[in-house]
Structure 1
Amino acid sequence: MSTVAACGVGYGEPYQGEPYAGGDVYADTWVATDQLGRTQPGIDETGPPKDNKWVGIFYWTWHIHRDCGPNDNTKLLATAKDGGVDWPENGCPHHWGEPELGYYFMTDPFVIRKHAGMLCDAGVDVVLFDTTNPPWTWKDEYEALCRTYTEMRKEGACTPCIGFITPFWDPTEVVNRLWKDLYKPGLWKDLWFMWDGKPLLLANKDFIKDEEMLAFFTFRRPMPDYWLGPDGPDQWSWLEVHPQHVFKNSAGEAEQMSVGVAQNALPDTPGPAPMAHKDGAMGRSWHNGAKDTREGAVELGLNFAEQWTRALEVDPQFIFVTGWNEWIAGRYTEWSKYTDEDCYYPGGLFVDQYTHEYSRDCEPMRGGHTDAYYYQLASYVRRFKGVRPRPTASGPSEIVVDGAFDDWEAVLPEYRDTIGDVAHRNHRGYGGLVYRNDTGRNDFVVAKAAYDDANLYFFIQTRDAITPHTDPHWMLLLIDADQDAKTGWLGYDDVVNREVRSSTETTVSAWRNGAWETVGAASYRVNGNGLEVAVPRALVGEAGDAPAFDFHWADNIQEFGDVSELGVNGDSAPNRRWNYRYAVAR
């Protein structure tokens, strides 16, 4: 069924275009440039999609309901004086920084949805839950995620699959709980990540005595050490120092490797070490055997890039990325063979996470590197898995802006956006914080673009009927006319609908001297869940023979601020700072 089939448009029933089916939004064809100027690779750099390539990411559901905190080390260390920090004594774990979505709990459906969308767009296949600390499986939290993932899939959206990494030594207690609560009753089976035809479980099966369990899972033994590598087949790593080992299966194939953002390890020192060690752990800026001390090096992902480069050289079947959303760590005075005297501040021994530099999450943060690690993750996943070619248009089209939309039926390509990503938020976070967000409004589903000698034409379809044009921040069309991220607001040179004059006339604005300036008018029509607009080519610098531009729809962002507006508020098509690329076939 056509996504833009006319249904008595304008004269009978309101237009109701059908959404696409299957959940594939062609995210591997989207374009983006991050805040560091790094562009997402296309097929020329990655090659076409490769068979049997999988990416999993370490995922933490341990953000449970706590009345204490948040204890944010970035803020606490900023107040350090006289060689000490006034550490809070509330017993709550410490965040190394603030997530873009706030100090959330993992029962928050808004957070779960945002994570799933970002990870799918990046090409991540499975989230691997941390259950390495017995006896906890964080059941309430993984069940909340499974319920939300199931809702998303019913709506037509993509989610990753799920899996678990269990304790490195005797995993019996945790495995028994997962078996009883999830796997034996067959709950959320369609979410299970399968490996060799069975659900994957990272656990040492030597401790498992139940024959039914042994036959049910594909086991891979998780190896805890960052330095030693495998001592046999069918073992997987979760984090290692560079150069990482290759973990082979029983057939001798290069099956798996890990890629880490950072490692809580010290040079030439066996075993893990505190991230807070004053000799300096292998943080985000670690590469070539040393810490890069340049200003801003923490944003560059140098450690992450070095590990990805190593993994791409080997090209295993599965890459395990550490990690996504750990965020917290306990504060100690002693741990293993270390004490707080080995660390920067008394009372401040932190093992796995400490500060911006000494942390290992890819999830976007508030301030700092924002979403740079997320886009770095996406770029390397593309290089590992390959991508499809970006779609092209065949030539000019005859479009009449009348609200009928039937002339869009034959226009290609069809651009897609995540379905169902306008859910509202009302959920608690750490320390009694309550997060609310009701900006989700018009849910973008399908977009198209076309041109003739005079105009660029754009069509956008939403899930439900489009709200009135008098709404604030309504149906903004952002155009990167020069395809240069260094110009404009977040790279966008022009915006349509910043000021809507009537039900048929809107404005085109250009970014000049750090602000939007109205430069002309455009005609548009809305009917049901469809909108079309004609933008004069001369207004957006596209007066040549074949136009070439990137574009992005945004509804109900709250301001023209930083990139978090496109990731958190309203809806964007495509998501975050991703863009659709319009190019004419040559």
Structure 2
Amino acid sequence: MSFRKFTTLLSCLLLPISITVGCTIVLKKQVDAYSVNEGRNFNYLCGIDQFSRVFEPVTGMNEEKHVGIFYFLWHGESGVTTHNITQLLKEDPDALFNVKGSSKSPLNAFHYWDEPLFGYYRSDDKWVIARHCELLSQAGIDFIVFDTTNGFIYEKSYTALLEVFSEYQERGWNVPKIAFYTNSMSIRTMNQLYDKLYSKGLYKDLWYCPDGERPLIIGALNAEHDKKIYNNPSYNPPELTEEFLNFFDLRSTQWPFDPFIPDGFPWMEWLYPQPNHNGIMNVSLAQHPQLPFSNSYFNRNLNKGRGYDFDKKENIESESAKGLNAEYQWKTVHKNAKDVHTVFVTGWNEWIAQKLNLSGSVGFVDCFNEEFSRDIEPAKNGTYQDAFIIQLIQNIRKFKGLNDNFKAPDKATIDITGDVKQWDKIRNTYINISETETERNSLSVDSKYKYVQDKPRNIIKEVKITHDKNNAYIMIKCVDDIIKDSGENWMNVFIGTNDLKLQGWECYNYVIGRSVNGDKIAVNTLDEKGNATKVADARYTIKGNVMQIEVKLKDLGLKTKDKGFYFKVADGVENYKDIMDYYVTGESFPMGRLSYYYYFN
């Protein structure tokens, strides 16, 4: 063997980060994933749901791939009642299916299939909008499409949302952009949107422009198309003006029962596998080819619920909370990933449907109960909890996540009693998107409930982590001086060691902070019910708005040769043994079952 051949072979053996293609060695790029967008990113975000589905950190996102989601603005405008179908099915099904209606379940009234996690909120509730913005941004959603298909534009609600999203954008976060989907009286609706929003240049930085210049709008392509969609002889829309057509990137509506339109924008497909509309593909959580959805309460397999198995061609109730239906839909996307540039997901927060008299029987068209509905947003008492959020992020990262090599973290020994400036040289930083949290004081859609939530006592601004051969060091910086408290839910640092898995409580096998004594803070193991057992003490200091912790690696069962750990910092969560309350009360960085990862190497 020649020296040249020997050295080439040796290089191949010594480069585990390389990919060999034929005779060419292609090195995987090393990326400083912390520094992307000046640290305002979610690259190290990770998570696991109750079904052990995991999503891992990424080094970035493929900017040529986009994911959008259907978003609903009608809570408190179209829907102003809180009749709960799931509750009625348990307590008074006769009232629910009474076609004449009753006080418990009036005919033509909007009904919730169940109560959302954040309550029966109004769509202009900025406290809720902020959480939506954070969750959708963390998920990797590029754009949201407002449902204005019924001819209402919900100006009050979309304005409130744009105000909140623009605040996050001004702080440097890449938040989802916006577009509108019209259908009934489409041209009238699109002209209203142009007059009220687009012609005035309002919130221009939040317009979703797929071609880089013109904002997307979905609707009828011309007056004839519009009349055909609406099918009402009294409706005579004008033709779209040249000004309008030059201004917008107009895409045709694509209804699931209409013939295939190559350039259409699908919000749901009744066909499976889903067709590709010139690079755009839909993913929906459930489908109703035999309208209405409520028909499936009496004949389960008329429609396709959340747990529908496309191979067995039946609804499997035990798979509903896992989202088997959506998983099949995502498989179609991944199988055709080279030919798909945009995925549109239905949906985020529909929640309601009218109780209708359909030929003498009660019908709810677009949602009915947990199984036959299509919301990703968690329900307050739902069995799926946040599983659809985890599933969404997992599949978005599979579709457009980049998996280059992570640049190793900065390692250092920190004197936690010393100057906080020691941390300035550490780039291992996790910045909190929700650093300006406010209190909640808002009414439900029917004004019967008042939702009050205090501003978190300690709002986390950022977390830095580093380690040496013996210890891990954690720096928690808050917006204001840290308020101390003696409760078990004060400044808890949850840690899961090595691979993401269901260990301890909700994937965390340790928590630091259930008790303090002088300069010592307890290190506890967690059982599956969230009960803590003290195993050691760590050291901590507080100086103004900065808390520093020094914890021995061995007290976390870790060695420097290990993979690392994932973490969450939480303070003041009221029901701190309920993982879903980490979306609602107190401060949780990040929210719910989401975590951030710290790699040792």
TM range (shorter): 0.7 to 0.9
Partner of 1:252: none
Question: Which residue of 2 is the match for residue 188 of structure 1?
Answer: 203
Distance apart, 1:195 and its partner CA: 2.2
1:550-574, Cα deviation, whole Å (9 max, x unpaired): 1111121113222212211222222
Separation in structure 1 between the aligned mates of residue 79 and residue 244 of structure 2, nearest angstrom: 38
Cα distance, 1:292–1:440 mapped onto 2, change above 3 Å:
farther
* Structure 1 residue 148 displacement after superposition: 1.4
Aligned with 2:587 (options 571, 574, 580): 571
Selected match of 2:67 from 55, 59, 73: 55
Moved more, 472-481 or 361-370: 472-481
Q: What's the offset of the Cα at 1:282?
A: 1.2
* CA-to-aligned-CA distance 1:515-569 (integer Å, 9 cap, x gap): 1122232211112222111112332212565562211111211132222122112
Provide, for residues 261-296 of structure 1, a one-character-per-residue CA deviation record: whole Å limited to 9, x for no partner. 111113xxxxx5444343331111112255555452
| Amino acid corresponding to residue 109 of structure 1 in structure 2 | K
State the alpha-carbon separation in 1 of the partners of residues 311 and 154 from structure 2: 37
Secondary structure of 1:409's counterpart equals helix
Change in CA separation of 1:293 and 1:194 when aligned onto 2, cut-off 3 Å: closer
- Residues 500-526 of structure 1 deviation map (CA, whole Å, 9 limit, x = unaligned): 223x33222222474112223221111
- 1:434 maps to which of 450, 454, 468: 450
* Per-residue deviation, 1:210: 1.8
Q: Using the alignment, how far apart are the partners of 1:381 and 1:519 within structure 2? A: 39
What does the per-residue CA deviation read over 1:31-74, in whole Å, with 9 as the maximum and x for residues that have no partner?
1111111011455xxx9743421111110000025895311111
* 1:439–1:476 CA distance, 2 compared to 1 (3 A): farther
Please report how far the alpha carbon of residue 576 of structure 1 lies from its aligned counterpart in structure 2 after TM superposition. 2.4
The correspondence for 1:463, drawn from 453, 473, 479, is: 479
Task: Say yes or no: does 1:258 pair with 2:277.
Answer: no
Task: For 2:500 and 2:57, locate their aligned partners in 1 and report how far apart those are by CA, in whole Å.
Answer: 16
The corresponding residue for 1:359 is 373
Structure 1 residues not aligned, in runs of 5+: 1-18, 249-254, 267-271, 342-347
203, 210, 216: which is aligned to 2:241?
210
2:277 to 230, 242, 247: 247
Q: For 2:443 and 2:319, how far apart are their aligned partners in 1?
A: 34
Over 3 Å counting, the alpha-carbon distance change for 1:275 and 1:312 in structure 2 is: farther
Q: How does 1:449-528 map to 2 (within 5 A)?
A: 449-470=465-486, 473-502=489-518, 504-512=519-527, 514=529, 515-528=531-544
1:173 maps to amino acid: R
Aligned positions of 1:90-129 closer than 5 A: 90=106, 92-129=109-146
Equivalent pair of 1:113/1:421 in contact (CA under 8 Å): no
- The structural deviation recorded for 1:396 is 4.7
> Counterpart amino acid of 2:356?
Y
Q: Secondary structure at the match of 2:128?
A: helix
TM-score (norm 2): 0.83
Please name the residue that 1:276 is paired with: 295
Provide Cα deviations, 1:163-199, integer angstroms capped at 9, x if missing partner.
100116x412111211111011111111111122201
**How far does the alpha carbon of each residue in 1:435-467 deviate from its partner, in whole angstroms, 9 at most, with x for none?**
111152322232222223432211122233322
The structure 1 residue matched to 2:384, chosen from 369, 377, 385, is: 369
1:299: Cα distance to partner?
A: 0.8
How many angstroms apart in 1 are the aligned matches of 2:503 and 2:255? 46
Deviations 1:103-128 (A, max 9, x none): 11101001101111111111101110
Larger mean Cα displacement after TM superposition, 511-520 or 442-451? 511-520
Alpha-carbon spacing, 1:453–1:102, altered in 2? closer, same or farther (3 Å): same
Instruction: Give yes or no for contact 1:556–1:571 (8 Å, CA) kept in 2.
Output: yes
- Deviation of 1:85 after TM superposition, in Å, equals 4.4
Which of residues 415, 429, 437 in structure 2 aligns to 1:414? 429
Distance 1:392 1:533, change over 3 A: farther
Rounded Cα–Cα distance in structure 2 between residues aligned with 1:89 and 1:478: 44
Correspondence 1:379 to 2:394: yes
Q: What is the distance in 2 between the residues matched to 1:417 and 1:219?
A: 36
- Is the CA contact 1:201–1:219 (under 8 Å) kept in the aligned structure 2? yes
CA deviations over 1:398-429 (Å, ceiling 9, x no partner): 11111512322223422222143522111111
Q: How does 1:294-373 map to 2 (within 5 A)?
A: 294-315=316-337, 316-334=340-358, 339=359, 341=361, 348-366=362-380, 367-373=382-388
Closer, same or farther: CA 439–498 of 1 in aligned 2, 3 Å: farther
Distance (Å, rounded) in 2 between the aligned partners of 1:57 and 1:239: 11
- Amino acid of the structure 2 residue aligned with 1:317: H
Contact 2:292 2:363 in 1 (8 A): no
Q: Secondary structure at the match of 1:365?
A: coil
CA separation in 1, counterparts of 2:330 and 2:260?
17
Give ranges in structure 2 of 5+ residues lacking alignment.
1-33, 224-238
1:138-161 Cα offsets, whole Å, 9 max, x none, are 111111111111222234444211
Measure, in 2, the Cα distance between the counterparts of 1:217 and 1:484.
44
Aligned AA for 1:75?
Q
2-structure distance, mates of 1:450, 1:41: 20
Decide whether aligned partners of structure 1 residues 428 and 190 sit closer, same or farther in structure 2, where only a CA change above 3 A counts: same
- Which position in structure 2 is the counterpart of 1:15? none
Whole-angstrom distance in 1 between the partners of 2:277 and 2:562: 50
Contact kept in structure 1, 2:79 and 2:352, CA below 8 Å? no
- CA distance in 2 between counterparts of 1:83 and 1:476 reads 46
CA distance in 2, matches of 1:132, 1:82: 32
| Cα deviation 1:268-327 (Å, max 9, x = unaligned) | xxxx54443433311111122555554521112111111111122223111111111000
Instruction: Provide Cα deviations, 1:343-392, integer angstroms capped at 9, x if missing partner.
Output: xxxxx301001111110111112231011111111111111112355746
Q: Structure 1 residues 426, 27: CA separation in 2 closer, same or farther (over 3 Å shift)? A: same
* CA distance in 1 between partners of 2:43 and 2:399 (Å): 12
Between 1:563-572 and 1:221-230, the stretch displaced more is 221-230
How far apart are 1:209 and its partner, in Å?
2.7
State the number of aligned residues: 538
What fraction of aligned residue pairs are identical, expressed as a percent? Answer: 29
For residue 246 of structure 2, give the secondary structure of its aligned residue in structure 1.
helix
Contact 2:148 2:180 in 1 (8 A): yes
**For structure 1, which segment, 555-564 or 115-124, has the greater mean C-alpha deviation from structure 2 after superposition?**
555-564
Q: Larger RCO: Structure 1 or Structure 2 (Cα < 8 Å, ≥ 6 residues apart)?
A: 1
Of 557, 562, 571, 2:578 maps to 562
